[in-house]
Structure 1
Amino acid sequence: MPGFTYRSQKYKWVYLRPEKLLIKELSAQFNLTDCITEVLYKRGIVEPGTLQAYFETPLTGLTSPFLIKDMGKAADHIALAIENKEKICVYGDYDVDGVTSVALMYHFLSEVGADVMYYIPNRLEEGYGLNIAAIEEIASTGVKLIVTVDCGINAENEVSHAVRLGMKVIITDHHQPSERIPEDACAVVNPMREDDTSPFKCFSGVGVAFKVIMALRSKMNDMGKFGVRTPNIKKYLDLVTLGTVADVVPLTGENRIFVRHGLEILSGKDCRAGLKELKRVSGVDGGKVTTTHVGFGLAPRINAVGRLGNSDKGLRLLITSDRAQAKYLADELDRENKDRQEIEKEIIEESFKKVEKNRLHEKYKGLVLYSTEWHQGVIGIVASRLVEKYHMPAIVLTFEDGVGKGSGRSIPSFDLYKGLEQLQDILLSFGGHKYAAGLKIAEEQISNLQRRFHSAVDSSLTAEDFVAELKIDSFIEPDDINSDFMRMIEKMEPYGAGNREPVFCMRGVRKYQPATFVGRDGMHLKMFLEKNGRTFDCIGYNMKSYEKLVAGREAFDVVFTPVVNGYYGGRFIQLVLKDLKPAEEEWQGIV
C-alpha cells in the first residue's frame, strides 16, 4: 500500500493508504464507517465471518488441546496419577505468568480430587526454573509426579535427576526450546517445539496450562469420573487473563478469546476473593476491567513479591477463598509493590545517567549495563525502560561472586533470542523469546558481551530500525467521532500486543485555550483542541518535552487514541495523544 511518513522529535509516523474503492466496498458489506473499516482491514479482517469471530470471540473458537504435541500423553499420566492417588507437585515460575499457571493447575487438580502440592522457587536464592535442590526436597515429600508450568523446556539434567529419584515429570511450557528437550520427561507439552503442528503458537505459560486442563477434563470425562457434573473451567479464565496480559504475548487467536472472557469475569462482582481485594488496592474496584488495569494495576502487585524474593504471597492470594486472608495478602502485596517501585526508580535513574554520561546510546547499537549493587528482581523492568527511552535492545545485569545474572528486552526489529544464540559461547546460560530473555555470564566476559551484542544488533538492523514507528490506522474528521464510533472501538477490545488500540490522525486542529501540564512533576500535557466547531478534551501522558512546541504553535496535526472517560462524573470522549506536529510541516512523501 502507498502511504506517507513524518519524522517527529520522537517517532516516525507511518500511514499506509489502502485503495478507497476497496474500503468503500468493505464498509458497505460490513455496514460500518470507512474509518472503522480501515482499522479492521489493517488487522486482516476482510470477510464477514472473520469480522463476527473478531467481535464476538466465542469460546467455541478454542481448538482441541490434543492438537498440541504430547498433550494426550500428559492427560493420560495425570489422570492415572489422580486415579492411583499419587501425590502431584505443580512446579512453576515466580512471575505473574508462572504464579497464575500454578494457581490454575492447583485449583483444577484439587477440584477433581488430586493429592496436589505446589512449588515456586525463590527468585533470589534459587533462580529460574527447575533446580536439583528443589527436586530433592519435592521427592522427600513423597511426590510421584511433577507437572511443570511456564518452565522446564530446557531442564534436561534436572528432569533426569527427578526420574532417578523415582518421579515422573511432565513439562508444560511456552518458551523457546534449545536443540534438545528433556528426553526423560513422560510428556513435553510446548507449542514452540519444532515437531509441534498445532495451529496456535503464541500462548503464555498459563495459556498452555489451560489447554492441559482442557485435555485432562476431557480425558477424565471419557473415563466416567464426573458423572453428570463435568467441571466448568471457564471460571479459571480470570487467572489465564492475568498471566496472558502480564506476559505480553499477542492478544490474537485463542489468547484473545481467553482474555475477552476473562476480563468479563474480572469485571463481575463474583470474581474470586483474592482478585476482588487486589482490584481494591489497585484502584480498579468496580466497573469494567481492561487490559490496562491488568497490566499496570493487578499484575505488578503479584509480580512485586516474586521480584523481591518469594512468590508465595501472590499464589496464596489467588488460591484462597477466605475474604479476610485475601484482604491481608492484597494489602501486603500493595506494600511490597511500593517498595519495589522505590528500588526500581532509583536503579532506572542510575541506568539513564550511565547511558548519558558515557554516551553508550551513541557508541553502541545494543545497550549492556551492569552493577554489583542493582537488585536482581527489577533489572528486567530497568531493561524495558531503557528500550522505551532509547528504542534499542538492552541487557541489564547484576553481578555477585563473579557471575552476572541479566535480563534483556528488545525492539520489534531485533529477535533477542536469536541474537543471544550468536553469543552462546561466552554465556553460561540463556533462554527466552524474541522480545525478552534471561542470561548468565562470567564477570570476565562482560567486555566481550558489550562488544559482541553491539555487533549482533548492528549487523542485522538499519538506522531506520532504531526509530520507533507510530502506525496510523486512519485519518478522521470531528464528525467521525461519536457514540456509535466509540461503541465499535470498544467492540475491538481487548487491546494489547498483536491487537493494539486503533490510532488515528486528525489534521489542522487548533488550540482552544493555552496548554497546561498536569500530574506529578507536571509530566502530562493537557489541551483542548478545536476543529469545525467541535472541541476535544486531550491528554498526552509523559509529554513534558513538548512544552516549547505547543507554546509556540496554534495549529497541529495530532495522532491519538479515543477513549470514553468517566472520571469527572459524566461519560465523555477524550483523545489520548500519542504525538503531535505543527500543522504547517509537510508529510514526507510516499512509502
Structure 2
Amino acid sequence: MKKTKWELKKTTKLDLNLPVDEDILSILNARGITKKEDIIKFLKPSLKDLEDPKKLYDIEKARDRIITAIENDEKICIYGDYDVDGITATTILYLGLKELGLKNITYYIPVRDEGYGLNNEALKSIKEDNCDIVITVDCGITSYKEIDYANKLGLTVIITDHHTLLNPIVPNAYAVINPKRLENKYSFNDLAGVGTAFMLLITLFEKYNKYEEAFKYIDIVCLGTIADIVSLTSNNRIIVKYGLEKISYTENLGLKTLCTKIFGDIKNHKFTSSDVGFGICPIFNAAGRLQDAKLVVKLLTSDNIREVEVIIDELFIKNEKRREIQNDIFELAKKELEDSSDLVLVSSSPKYHHGVIGIVAAKLVDTYYKPSIVLEEKIEEKIAVASCRSISNFDITEALKNSADLLVKYGGHKGAAGFTIKIENIEKFKKRINEYAKKILKEEDFTKLISIDKKITINKISYEFYKTLELLKPFGFGNPTPIFLTTNVIVDESKLIGENKNHLSLNFSQKGYTVKNAMWFFNDELKDNIFYDIVYKLNINEYKGRSFVKVYIEDMKESLLTDDKLLFMKSIYDTRFPIKSIFYTNKEVDINDNLSIKTEANRIVIFKNREYISRLDENISQLLIQLNMFYNRKFNIKIESIEKKDALNVVEILIKESFDFVCYKKEPVNIFNKIKKELIDKRNYNTLEKKALASLFHDDKNLLISNKNITGFSFKSEHYLNLLRTFAIFYTNKEDEKPLLLTKDKTLLNDSYLKNFTTNTKSSYLILDRNTYKKEVDLTKFKKIILLDNSIEKYDNFKELHLEIKIKDNVKNISKENIEKYGVDNIYIKQLPNDNKIELKQKYENGEIILADNSIIEII
C-alpha cells in the first residue's frame, strides 16, 4: 500500500438555524464556509449574485472601443490560446460580437510549436490581414515586447487575461482587463480566461440592452472554466452551475452534436464537472495537443451540421491517438523510472510527444508521489522541451531557478512548470535538481496527505446520502468531491480486475449494511486482514436504467478496531428527513398514486393499495427498519417523478417521517398509553414528566416549570420535549385542537412532533416559553397552559412543579479518562435505542458505573 497520511479536517461548532442536513453543514464548516449568508449563497447560487463586471479596471474603456469598431465597420481579430480555456474564450467573443453586429471579425489560435501567448510573426500576419483591433483572450498579460511591437504596427490591442502579472505595471495596450489587476474594485481574482472574456461580453450586451441574452453562452464559458482548473467558488461556481444545466439544452450546434455522441439523450442527462473535465475537454484538447486547436473553434462556431459531424469524427480520431501516445509514453517513462531512487524523477526521450508530456508527468506524480519531469528531445534542434509536475512541499519553479544557468528558458508556478534545455545539459540538470531536492525535501514530504472532509458510518453510503451531497455540486478545484472516512469495515470479498489486473474491486460490510463493488484503482495488493478503515469518494453509476451508489477508494489501512458504536448510533438517530430515494418497477404507477410501505424479510416493500409494486434498496431499507426498531419512528413515501427507461419505470420518491397519530378510544388513559408507546415505547416517563402530567391532567391545573423550583439538575428545553409532545398530541387527539406554541427556542421550534402537533395561530391550549418569548400574552383566554419560566417561582392560578433530582454517584461524566477506565459498554446518550436505555436504567438502579451526559435525566 502507498505511503499516505490521513488528516481529518477541523471544524468549529456552529449554531445555525438552517433546514440543511448536518453532514452538509459539517463539510462546509470544514471548508471554511461558516456564516449563514455564505452557506445560503453557496447552496443556492444565483446569476443575480454575479459580481458587476464593470468593477474590472479598463472594461468600460474596452467596451466603448469595441462598440466604436462595430459602428465604424472596423476589423477585429481575437487572439486566443490552444487550450480549452483559450478556445472557449475565442468562441464566445467571436459569436457574441457577431451577434452584436460586428461584420469584420476573425480569430487566430497559435499552434503548440509557436509557444504560449503572443508572437511577433502572428501579429504581423494579423496586420497584413487588415485587422484594426486585436483582442487577446487567455493571454497577453506578460507580452510586454509583443504589445509594443503591435503598437508600432498600428494595431489597437485589448488584453483580456487571467494569468498572474509579472509586476504591477501592465503591458502598454489600449485596455488591459485582468481580475488580478491591483486597480480592480472587482473582488474575485480567480476567473478563468474565458470567464474574463465573458465579463467583457456581458458589459457589451448590457450596453445594447441585451444583458440576459449574454447568458446563452454560459455553457461554453462553463467548459473553459472547468478545464482551466480555477477555483469553483464565488463567480466561477455560479458560472459552472448554470453552465452545466445549460448544456442539456444548448443552442450551440457543435456542442450539442458532440455531447449527444458522447452522452446520448442530453436533455435527460444531468451534466457534471467530471463529464466536462473527463468527457468533453480531452477531446477538445486533443486537437491542440496533436495538431491545430482552430478545429475546435470551427466546431463551436459552425452552423453546418455536416461540417460539425466531420469535425467531431476527426476529433475522436485525434483523441484516441492522443490517448495511445500518452499511454505509450507513460509506460516507457515508468519502465525507465520504476527502480529509480532519485528524489526528482526525470525522463527524457526523442520518442516523446510535447503535446502529452504534461499529462504523463502528472501520472508519474500520482504513481510515485515524487516531483516528475518529462522531456521531449528535438534531435535536429539539439534542445529538449520539458513539462514538470510537483508534490505539495516542493516548489518546482524555485527548483528550476536554481538550475537557470543550464536552461534556455523556463516558467510556471509552484505545482507545474515548463522549460527548454539543450540536450547536452540534461544529465547536468538531472544531477543539479536532485542535489537541490536533497536540501529541500524531508522523508515525510514523500508521504501523500489525504485530507478527509468527514468521518461517517456505513449507513451513509447510499443513494439517498449522495442525493443530499448534490447540494454541494458542482465539484472541482476549490470545491472538491468530499472525501469520507469509515472505520472497522469487514472486507468480505476482493478481486483483481482490468486488462492488466491492476485494479481492486471489493465488497465490505458492517452492522447489517453492505457495500458492493467498491473500486480501488491502480492497487493490486490487499493484506490478509478482515477489518479495514477506508477513505473514499462517492458517486452514482447507472446500469441498465438503474442507479447505484459507487464507492471509489482513495486509501485503505488496517483497522485499529476502536469502538464506533456511539458514532453509528448518532448517525442513525440524527438522520434528517425528508430524504430522496428511488425504486424501479415494471408496474404502472402514477405520480398521484398513494403508496404504502411495510417491512418484509428485512426489506421495505412498496404497495399500491394491496398490490406489490417494488421494494427499496437494501441499505435504505436497513436504515428505515433500524430507525423504527430503535426509536419507533415511522415513515411514508410520496412520488416526486417517474421516468421511463426501457421496460422500467424509474420512480424518484421522497421519504418523510409519518406523524399520523389516531386513538379511537377517547378515554384519557387510552390516549396516554398510546402516546407513551409512540414516544418512548417500553420505557417509563421520568420523574419530571410523571409529576408534570399528574398536575396537568389529574389535578387539572395549569403548570409552571421553573428551574428555581428544581434542585439537583438544571433543566433545558430539550429535557421537556417528551412532556410537551405528550401535551400537544393529547389535545390534538382528544379535542381535535392543536396547542399554540410560543417560543423562540430552536430546539422546540425544530422538533418534528411539536411542528406537527402544535400551531402558531389561535388555540384554547398553550405552551408558553417565557425564557425566550417576551411578548405579552393574555393567559385568561386558554383552557390549559404549560408555562416555562426560569425567572419566577410562582404564578397565580398555576401549580408549580417542585422537584428534587438526585443522580446517583455511580453516574460519571463521559470523558476520555473515564472511557479508558470503565470502557464503553455502559455509556448513556440520547441517541441510544430504547431497549438499551431500559437496560441501562436497570444497571443504574443496580449501582453499576454509567458514563453519561445530561440526557441521562430521561431515565431518572
Partner of 1:141: 129
Aligned counterpart, 1:5? none
Question: How far is the alpha carbon of 1:208 from its aligned partner?
Answer: 1.3
Whole-angstrom distance in 1 between the partners of 2:384 and 2:180: 28
Q: Using structure 1 for the length normalisation, give the TM-score.
A: 0.88
Going from structure 1 to structure 2, the CA distance change for 1:32 and 1:191 (only over 3 Å counts) comes to closer
- Residue 89 of structure 1 deviates from its aligned partner by 0.3
Q: What per-residue deviation string (whole Å, max 9, x for no partner) do you get for residues 185-214 of structure 1?
A: 112222234555531122221111112212
Instruction: Quote how far apart the aligned CAs of 1:533 are.
Output: 0.8
- How many angstroms apart in 1 are the aligned matches of 2:184 and 2:85? 22
Which among 386, 400, 423 is matched to residue 406 of structure 1? 386
Q: 1:316 aligns with which of 287, 290, 298?
A: 298
- Partner residue, 2:545: 569
1:233 match? 214
Structure 2 CA distance, aligned partners of 1:470 and 1:178? 33
Cα separation, partners in 2 of 1:317 and 1:347, compared to 1, 3 Å: same
Report the residue type matching 2:430 in the other structure. Q
Q: C-alpha offsets along residues 523-570 of structure 1, whole Å, 9 cap, x if unaligned?
A: 332222111111112422424323x42xx2222211122223322432
Counterpart CA distance in 2 for 1:16 and 1:451 is: 38
| CA distance in structure 1 between the partners assigned to 2:451 and 2:541 by the alignment | 24
Judge conservation of contact 2:463–2:540 (CA < 8 Å) in 1. Answer: no
Taking the aligned partners of 1:429 and 1:284, their CA distance within structure 2 comes to 45
Number of the residue aligned with 1:347: 329
Over residues 482-517 of structure 1, what are the superposed CA-to-partner deviations in whole Å (9 max), with x where a residue is unaligned? 5553222011011111111111111111134x2123
Q: Would you say the 8 A contact 2:230–2:477 is kept in 1?
A: yes
Match of 1:395, SS state, is strand
Which one is further off, 189-198 or 112-121?
A: 189-198
For the residues of structure 2 that align with 1:67 and 1:459, how far apart are their CA atoms? 45
Residues 1:331 and 2:278 are matched in the alignment: no
Hey, what does 2:680 align to over in structure 1? Answer: none
Match status 1:301 vs 2:283: yes
- Asked whether the 8 Å contact 2:88–2:223 carries over to 1, the reply is yes
Instruction: Measure the CA separation in 1 of the matches of 2:294 and 2:499.
Output: 33
Match of 1:370 in 2: 348
AA aligned opposite 1:157: K
CA contact (8 A) 1:176 1:431 kept: no
- CA deviation after TM superposition for structure 1 residue 292, in Å: 0.9
What is the letter of the counterpart of residue 326 of structure 1?
V
1:489 alignment partner AA = L
User: 1:284, 1:293 within 8 Å by CA — same for their partners in 2?
Assistant: no
For 2:123 and 2:115, the matched residues in 1 are separated by 14
Point out the structure with max Rg over C-alpha: 2
Aligned runs of 1:264-275 on 2, under 5 Å?
A: 264-266=245-247, 268-275=248-255
CA–CA distance in 2 between the matches of 1:121 and 1:356?
A: 36
Q: Does 1:130 align with 2:118?
A: yes
Task: Give, in whole Å, the separation in 2 of the partners of 1:60 and 1:417.
Answer: 39
Superposed displacement of residue 33, structure 1: 4.2
Query: Partner of 2:190 in structure 1?
Result: 202
Say which structure, 1 or 2, has more relative contact order (CA 8 Å, 6+ apart).
1
The offset of 1:399, in angstroms, is: 2.9
Structure 1 position 250 matched with structure 2 position 231: yes
Q: Which residue of 1 aligns with 2:451?
A: 471
- Runs of 4 or more, structure 1, over 6 Å off, are none
Partner of 1:4: none
Structure 1 pair 260/281, CA: closer, same or farther in 2 (3 Å)? same
1:17-96 matches, within 5 Å, as 17-18=10-11, 22=13, 25-26=15-16, 29-96=17-84
**What is the alpha-carbon distance in structure 2 between the residues aligned to residue 263 and residue 234 of structure 1?**
12
- In 1, Cα distance between the equivalents of 2:402 and 2:187? 29
User: What is the CA–CA distance in structure 1 between the aligned matches of 2:48 and 2:417, rounded to whole Å?
Assistant: 34
The 1:73/1:423 distance shift into structure 2, 3 A limit, reads farther
Kept in 2, the 8 Å contact 1:105–1:209? The answer is yes
Q: Shift of the alpha carbon at 1:420? A: 4.1
**Structure 2 counterpart of 1:183:** 171
> Which residue of 8, 25, 38 maps to 1:15?
8
The structural deviation recorded for 1:100 is: 0.9
State the shift of 1:246 in Å: 1.2
Which amino acid in structure 1 is aligned with residue 415 of structure 2?
Answer: Y
Q: Write out per-residue CA displacement over residues 129-162 of structure 1, whole angstroms, 9 at most, x where no aligned residue.
A: 2112111111111001111111122222222222
**1:395/1:196 CA distance change after superposition, 3 Å:** farther
Gaps of 5+ in 2: 564-860
Equivalent position of 2:656 in the other structure: none
Equivalent residues of 1:540, 1:578 under 8 A apart: no
Segments of 5+ residues of structure 1 without an aligned counterpart are: 1-7
Provide the identity percentage. Answer: 36
Alignment CA distance shift 1:237-1:230 (3 Å): closer
The answer to whether the 8 A contact 1:522-1:544 is kept is no
Question: 1:367–1:392: 8 Å Cα contact kept in structure 2?
Answer: yes
CA distance in 1, matches of 2:57, 2:398: 24
Q: Which residue of 2 aligns with 1:501?
A: 481
Q: 1:295 offset after TM fit, Å?
A: 0.9
> For residues 16 and 182 of structure 1, do their structure 2 counterparts lie closer, same or farther at Cα, with a shift above 3 Å needed?
closer
Cα gap change, 1:248/1:156 in structure 2, threshold over 3 Å: closer, same or farther?
same
Q: More displaced, 382-391 or 402-411?
A: 402-411
Q: What is the TM-score when the length of structure 2 is the normalising length? A: 0.62
Q: Is the CA contact (8 Å cut-off) linking 2:98 and 2:105 kept in structure 1? A: yes
- Aligned residue in 1 for 2:576: none
Distance in 1 between the 2:481 and 2:264 partners?
20
Question: Match of 1:376, SS?
Answer: coil
Alignment of 1:455-494 (within 5 A): 457-482=437-462, 484-494=464-474
Take 2:181 and 2:387, find their aligned partners in 1: how far apart are those partners? 23
Letter in 2 for 1:279: C
In structure 1, C-alpha distance between the alignment counterparts of 2:498 and 2:161, rounded to whole Å:
41
- Give CA-to-partner distance per residue, 1:246-266, whole Å, 9 cap, x none: 111121121111111111011
In structure 1, C-alpha distance between the alignment counterparts of 2:288 and 2:352, rounded to whole Å:
16
Identify if the C-alpha distance between structure 1 residues 419 and 203 changes in structure 2 by more than 3 Å, giving closer, same or farther: farther
Alignment of 1:372-391 (within 5 A): 372-391=350-369
Aligned equivalent of 1:116: 105
Give the Å deviation of 1:294. Answer: 0.8
Aligned mate of 2:533, from 554, 557, 576: 557
The size of the alignment, in residue pairs, is: 559
- Matched to 1:409, the amino acid is R
SS of residue in 1 equivalent to 2:154: coil
Q: Contact 2:9 / 2:30 at 8 angstroms: preserved in 1?
A: no
Is the partner of 2:474 in helix, strand or coil? coil
* Match of residue 204 from structure 2: 216
Alpha-carbon separation, structure 2, partners of 1:304 and 1:497: 22
Distance in 2 between the 1:274 and 1:95 partners?
17
Three-state SS of the structure 2 residue aligned to 1:515 is strand
Give 1:425 shift.
4.9
Looking at structure 2, the residues matched to 419 and 284 of structure 1 have their Cα atoms a distance apart, in angstroms, of 47
Residue number in structure 1 paired with 2:259: 279
Q: Deviations over 1:31-72 (max 9, x none)?
A: 444433221111112122111111111112221223223323
Give a deviation string over 1:219-270, Cα, whole Å, max 9, x none.
Answer: xx1xxxx3x655611121111111111111121121111111111011x144
> For structure 1, which segment, 163-172 or 461-470, has the greater mean C-alpha deviation from structure 2 after superposition?
461-470
Q: Partner amino acid for 2:111? A: N
Counterparts of residues 508-527 of structure 1 (less than 5 Å)? 508-512=488-492, 514-527=493-506
